Amino acid sequence: MGEEVSKKTYYIGVVLIAALVVSIVFLYVYTKPQAPSIEQKVVVYAYNDKITGIDPSVEDDTGLVVLGSIYETLTYYDYKTSEVKPRLAVNWTSSSDGKEWVFYLRKGVKFHDGTPFNSTAVKVSVERARDIYRETGRGMGYIWDAVEEIEIVDEYTVKFKLSYPQRLDLLASGSYAAYIFSPSVLEKAGVSSYMDRELEDWFNNGNAVGTGPYKLVYYDPVREVKLEKNSDWWGWREVSNPNAPDVVIIKIVTEPIAQYNGLLSGEIDIASSVPRENTKTLLEKGFKSINLSTYHNFVLFFNTKRYPTNIREFRLAIVHALDMSRIIRDALLGYGKVASGVLPHGFPGHVDNLVYQYNLAKAREYLSIAGVKSPVTITLLYQVDYEETRKFAEIFKSMMMELGVNVELDPQDWARLKDIAKEIWRNPDETPHLVIADWWPTIPSPYDYLYTMLHSESKEWNFAGYENNLFDDLIDSAWILEGENYTKAIELYVQAQQLVYEDAPAVGLWDEIRPFIYSGRINLPEEALNPLYMFVIRFELVEVRS
């Protein structure tokens, strides 16, 4: 035993294996995929989350990234000038009491299936969003809650009658629940009523009939979404961009490092979630960046029903021991602005002087007034989904140690965090003392943030358990006053925020600055991004160079 195998077999084996290895290496090194010349202009946009649905009336989460390209709203919010601009509506008027609004619609607009855009489409779209909300509580149709009746004056004129005054032009520019779809969807989906649940399933299965510059051609919420240019879009003559992409692929790439790799390999043209520490490398390699100051903010909620965070002075001690400049530098690598209040910078109603100064001596003074003996231990509940919150938590813990406050960290993913945090209303003593949550808006109204975060009736999202009748009254009054006297309404919102600043049930931590990195083969103008429409890119403004 142990004799040599015949040399012939041996050499054949060696040659075969060598041939295999050489072939593999050859294929691997020398046949890197070279895309043949593409006649169509294609842009691949990496988005960092799977799509949760694309029903234009009900969707209120990540589906926005698709909805914003295939549907349009009656008006469009220009965040730079804080003005409401025409879109599907060219003009609008309101009665002096703000309870009657007339919208004059753009003529000659067609939906993607060729059906005409008109008053009927507006009526059906708005009523559906409103009614689904009223009946089931789902979606953001509450923005239309004041709408009592929608009258079709003529084919291109719609009158809204409201039960209380509202800034309907602002609401109509919302990032959710304000999209106009064609009534032909009823026939396509085989339903007789827009309230039929099957219509929702039809939309979420990858069907869409909007008026936008791009139409949906392929929908896989887990992998990618493909959009094709709508050559009949009314706005092409206005944007005057012959180099707009013919095809847009919204590719779901959840890992930031995979987005980075995708940019480098040329697979991705625009990425919105690369690791912050890699952005410099990309810029050095010739990629470009737009740093968008978003309305996406992060807020620290105090459990106002549990000792010691139920003591106002203790909360003030915490906030004065927080060095936010260091957080912005070390946790966010500069991609953030220190928040002032709970409304983000640039958002209507934002107030600039609601920042707590970092002052350890003052913090210790408040701690002493609070009568809380150190060492004391509190729990911080935060999201693991964001790298920034993970880093913040660690730095926060070390900062609080200087104050003599021990912090136990409780990292959770979003679904669990929400579940735990809202228990404050049922079991406050078992709920963490601190919760970090993030927010982005639906409509350009302070009510969107303030109601959801701190109104005593907002049991799902008021993680502070804050109950202040004066605050509730201020913002409820302001919400109604927006339609009658917008300036006065903003004043009330400012008062409400000052109340929050003094009470400190919640503290704005930072407003996100998000870098959109893109390759040199395209040009991404700043106008293509808008913080109200998170992650939506106006591809009709993007130029494909090569």
Distance CA 463, CA 419 (A): 10
Q: Which two tokens stand for residue 527?
A: 């106008």
Site for another protein in 340-379 (CB under 8 A): none
Give the residue with the Cβ less far from another protein, 248 or 399.
248
Among 290, 295, 252, 258, residue whose Cα is nearest residue 274 = 258
If one asks whether residue 521 binds another protein (CB under 8 A), the answer comes out as no
Closest distance of CB 423 from another protein, Å: 9
3-state secondary structure 312-349: HHHHHHHHHCCCHHHHHHHCCCCCEEECCCCCCCCCCC
> How far apart, in Å, are the Cα atoms of 194 and each of 26, 57, 189?
58, 10, 10
- Shortest Cβ 254–another protein spacing (Å): 7
5 near another protein, rule: CB under 8 A: yes
- According to DSSP, the β-strands at 224-229 and 247-252 are antiparallel
Buried b (16+ CB within 10 A) or exposed e, 196-223: eeebbebbbebbbbbbbbbbbeebebee
Q: For another protein, which is the closer residue by CB, 3 or 284? A: 3
Length of the chain counted residue by residue: 546
Our finding on whether 140 is near another protein (CB under 8 A) is yes
The verdict on 180 binding another protein (CB under 8 A) reads no
d(CA 315, CA 367) in angstroms, rounded, equals 9
For another protein, the closer of residues 86 and 428 by Cβ is 428
Torsion-angle region of 452 (φ positive above 0: left; ψ -120 to 50: alpha; else: beta): alpha
Name the helix (H) or strand (E) containing 389.
helix 387-403
Minimum CB distance to another protein smaller for 234 or for 295: 295
What is the side-by-side strand order in the sheet with 157-162?
A: 89-94, 100-105, 157-162, 147-154
Interaction of residue 53 with another protein, rule CB under 8 A = yes
Residue closer to another protein, measured from CB, 118 or 125: 125
Site for another protein in 419-438 (CB under 8 A): 419-420
The smaller minimum CB distance to another protein, of residues 254 and 495, is found at: 254
Interface with another protein, residue 67, by CB under 8 A: no
Q: Decide: is 495 part of the binding site for another protein (CB under 8 A).
A: no
- Please give the residues from 188 up to 247 whose contact with another protein meets the rule CB under 8 A: 200-201, 204-206, 220-224, 226, 247
Number of residues that bind another protein (CB under 8 A): 85
Residue written as tokens 């959009």?
227
Closer to another protein by Cβ: residue 38 or 283: 38
Closer residue to another protein, CB minimum distance, 6 or 353: 6
Q: What share of the chain is helix, strand, coil (3-state, %, to 5)?
A: 35, 20, 40
DSSP symbol at 384: S
H or E element: which one contains 40?
none
Q: Does 472 bind another protein (CB under 8 A)?
A: no
**26 is a site residue for another protein (CB under 8 A):** no
* Token pair for 376: 């004391």
> Considering only residues 71, 103, 111, 133, which one is a binding residue for another protein as defined by CB under 8 A?
133
Q: Is 35 in the site for another protein (CB under 8 A)?
A: yes
Q: Which listed residue (245, 262, 432, 515) binds another protein by CB under 8 A?
A: 262
Closest C-alpha among 430, 426, 427, 428 to residue 410: 430
416 binds another protein (CB under 8 A): yes
SS3 252: strand
The residue among 31 and 240 lying less far from another protein, judged by its C-beta, is 31
Query: Which one of 48, 56, 57, 58 is in contact with another protein (CB under 8 A)?
Result: 58
Q: Could you tell me the smallest distance in angstroms from the CB atom of residue 320 to another protein? A: 31
String of contacts with another protein for each residue 295-334, x by CB under 8 A: ----------------------------------------
The answer to the question of residue 444 lying near another protein (CB under 8 A) is no
The residue among 133 and 471 lying less far from another protein, judged by its C-beta, is: 133
Residue 414 CB coordination number (10 Å): 13
Q: What minimum distance in Å lies between the beta carbon of 150 and another protein? A: 20
User: Shortest distance, CB of residue 457 to another protein, whole angstroms?
Assistant: 7
Give the residue with the Cβ less far from another protein, 133 or 493: 133
Taking the C-alpha atoms of residue 417 and residue 411, their distance in angstroms, rounded to an integer, is 8
Of the candidate residues 56, 59, 314, 482, the single one contacting another protein (CB under 8 A): 59
Q: Pairing state of beta strands 147-154 and 376-383?
A: unpaired
Q: Is 264 in the site for another protein (CB under 8 A)?
A: yes
d(CA 108, CA 113): 14
- Coil, helix or strand at residue 387: helix
Cβ proximity to another protein, 373 vs 459, nearer residue: 459
Binding segment toward another protein, per CB under 8 A, in 89-97, 139-147, 162-170, 290-298 = 139-147
Query: Which residue has tokens 């691949």?
Result: 44
Q: Which stretch binds another protein (CB under 8 A): 86-94, 264-272, 430-438, 493-501?
A: 264-272
The tokens describing 303, both together, are 């459990």
